[in-house]
C-alpha cells in the first residue's frame, strides 16, 4: 500500500489547489486528502464521506478538497467554477445561493469539462445544484446533475 504524506489545508498556505481567495471562508469538521501521483493534483480521500463547506461572496474556483459552497451574491452576481471532474472522480459537490438578492450565482464547469444540468444559474434564495463527477463515455469527464 502506498504511503501518502499529510497535506496542509489550502487555507494554511500549502497542499490542495483550492486556496482561499477574497470573499471566501472555510468551516470544516474534517480534512482527509491524498496527493495523486505524477502531478495529477490533490483529491479527497473519501469525496462524499463528509462535507467541507465554503462560504463565498465573490467569484470562486472550487478546489478538489471542497464539496459544499454557500454563495452570497448580495454584492453582485458571480460565478462558482467547479473543480476538474477528472481529478474528483465520483465526487459530489453542492452549490447553494444563500441570499435573497436578485443577483444570480452561475455554476460553471472547469475548462475541458462538461456540465450536464438543466441550468447552471441559481437565482432565488436557497436554490442549489448537486452534481457528481462522471465519465462522459468518450475518455473525458464532466459534472452530472444529481438532484
Domain locations in the chain as residue ranges: 10-145
User: At 15, is the secondary structure helix, strand, or coil?
Assistant: coil
Q: What is the pLDDT of residues 51-78, one digit of tens each?
A: 688 899 999 998 766 688 999 999 999 9
Per-position DSSP letters for 38-64, written without gaps between them: TT--EEESSTTTS--EEEESS-EE--T
Q: Please indicate, yes or no, whether the overall pTM of this predicted structure exceeds 0.75.
A: no
Q: What is the pLDDT of residue 118?
A: 81
What is the average pLDDT value for the chain, to the nearest integer? 74
Amino acid at each position: 500500500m502506498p504511503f501518502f504524506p499529510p497535506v496542509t489545508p489550502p487555507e494554511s498556505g500549502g497542499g490542495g489547489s483550492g486556496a482561499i481567495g477574497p470573499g471566501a471562508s472555510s468551516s470544516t469538521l474534517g480534512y482527509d486528502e491524498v496527493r495523486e501521483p505524477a502531478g495529477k493534483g490533490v483529491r479527497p480521500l473519501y469525496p462524499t464521506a463528509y462535507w467541507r463547506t465554503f462560504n463565498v461572496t465573490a467569484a470562486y474556483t472550487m478546489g478538489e478538497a471542497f464539496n459544499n459552497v454557500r454563495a452570497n451574491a448580495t454584492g453582485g452576481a458571480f460565478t462558482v467554477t467547479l473543480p476538474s471532474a477528472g481529478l474528483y472522480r465520483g465526487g459530489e459537490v453542492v452549490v447553494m445561493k444563500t441570499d435573497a438578492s436578485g443577483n444570480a450565482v452561475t455554476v460553471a464547469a472547469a475548462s475541458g469539462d462538461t456540465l450536464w444540468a438543466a441550468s447552471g444559474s441559481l437565482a432565488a434564495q436557497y436554490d442549489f445544484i448537486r452534481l457528481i463527477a462522471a465519465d462522459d463515455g468518450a475518455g473525458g469527464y464532466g459534472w452530472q446533475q444529481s438532484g
